[in-house]
Amino acid sequence: MKNYVVSGAANGIGKAIVLSLVREGHQVFALDIDEQNLNLLKLEAPKQIHTYTIDVTDFRAIERALLPVVKEQTLFGVILSHGIDNEHTISENSIWDRIIATNLTSTQRLLSLLCPAISNGGRVVMISSILGKVGRKNNSAYCASKHALLGITKALALELAPQRITVNAVLPSWVDTKMLREGLAQQARMMGNTVPLLLKRIGKRIPLGRLISAEDVAGSVNFLLSPAAVMITAQSLVIDGGDGCGV
């Protein structure tokens, strides 16, 4: 049994990662601000999943919750899956600040606390986004935060290499999650369409013929955590069903 910390664990990709880890017999310290769904997640494996309802921008709360874990446990892996998005123009400073604080600054704070507890040969995986490689109108803060995660991935990989700890990023494209559906809802209303119709259209344009599932992403994370990936570090793994390979 190995110990993992997973942030953004209550829904979507984070939840799928937690469930895949407990199926393999591991112990997971799961973080999220969504207390209700975090409690439901714990019911899946009460003895293996330890939940912490935390706002990742509240650094004192993070320390209070995780310092005992760091002192008492040796971690094999840290998977950072938290993040928010909100369409905005470049002049909307408050939205920029909130997204950068949640997606980027909190990542540094979590890593500064957790990395010393990772065992030699351990793993760090960051859930970035395809928007860590490209841009999108009215999403400058989200794009900036996801681009920045790739820089952290490369720099931290070099920093932790002497301990044989690998650091990689996963870049999903269109993942069918609650976050995506909420983001499409406004578009659907403006276009006079429905969310299911938009999802169907997106799936059709992906070469492999469907949207990515949270479980698809979890499977790729599992690979990066496995012995097969022991010499893979500082890399960005795109999961897009071939969506970015043509025009």
| Count of structural domains, the chain | 2
* 48 vs 243, higher pLDDT: 48
Cβ neighbours around 116 below 10 Å, total? 10
- Residues 26 and 19: their CA atoms lie apart, in Å, by 10
168 closest CA partner among 145, 147, 150: 150
- Residues 6 and 8: their CA atoms lie apart, in Å, by 7
The answer to the question of residue 41 being in a domain is yes
Banded pLDDT at 99 (limits 50, 70, 90): very high
Per-residue pLDDT, 220: 98
- Residues 84 and 32: their CA atoms lie apart, in Å, by 12
The answer to the question of residue 198 being in a domain is yes
Share of the chain above pLDDT 90, in %: 79
Whether residues 143 and 186 share a domain: the answer is: no
Helices (runs of H) and strands (runs of E) counted in the chain:
9, 7
Q: What is the pLDDT of residues 182-236, one digit of tens each?
A: 878 877 787 778 888 888 888 888 999 999 999 999 999 999 999 999 999 999 9
CA distances 62 to 11, 36, 37, 111, Å, are: 19, 19, 19, 11
Whether residues 186 and 77 share a domain: the answer is: no
The token duo for 3 is 């110990």
Domain limits at 186? 176-211
Is-catalytic flag, 142? yes
The answer to the question of residue 245 being in a domain is no
Whether residues 184 and 93 share a domain: the answer is: no
**Residue 45: exposed, middle, or buried by beta-carbon count in 10 A (0-12, 13-18, 19+)?**
middle
Residues 6 or more apart in contact with residue 200 via CB below 8 angstroms: none
Whether residues 145 and 207 share a domain: the answer is: no
* Annotated catalytic residue within 128, 142, 149, 177: 142
Share of the chain above pLDDT 70, in %: 99
Identify the residue whose tokens are 């601000």: 33
Q: Is 19 helix (H, G, I), strand (E, B) or coil?
A: helix
**What's the pTM?**
0.94
Q: What is the pLDDT of residues 130-163, one digit of tens each?
A: 998 998 898 899 999 999 999 999 999 999 999 9
Q: Does residue 81 surpass a pLDDT of 60?
A: yes
Q: Is the dihedral of CA 48, 84, 210, 188 positive or negative?
A: positive
Q: Is 151 helix (H, G, I), strand (E, B) or coil?
A: helix
Q: Does residue 91 surpass a pLDDT of 90?
A: no
CA distances 170 to 55, 128, 130, Å, are: 23, 6, 9
Whether residues 111 and 160 share a domain: the answer is: yes
Whether residues 145 and 31 share a domain: the answer is: yes
Overall average pLDDT of the 109-137 stretch: 96
* 243 vs 239, higher pLDDT: 239
The answer to the question of residue 247 being in a domain is no
The answer to the question of residue 244 being in a domain is no
Sheet holding 166-172, edge to edge: 49-53, 27-32, 3-7, 75-80, 118-127, 166-172, 236-239
Q: Does residue 247 surpass a pLDDT of 70?
A: no
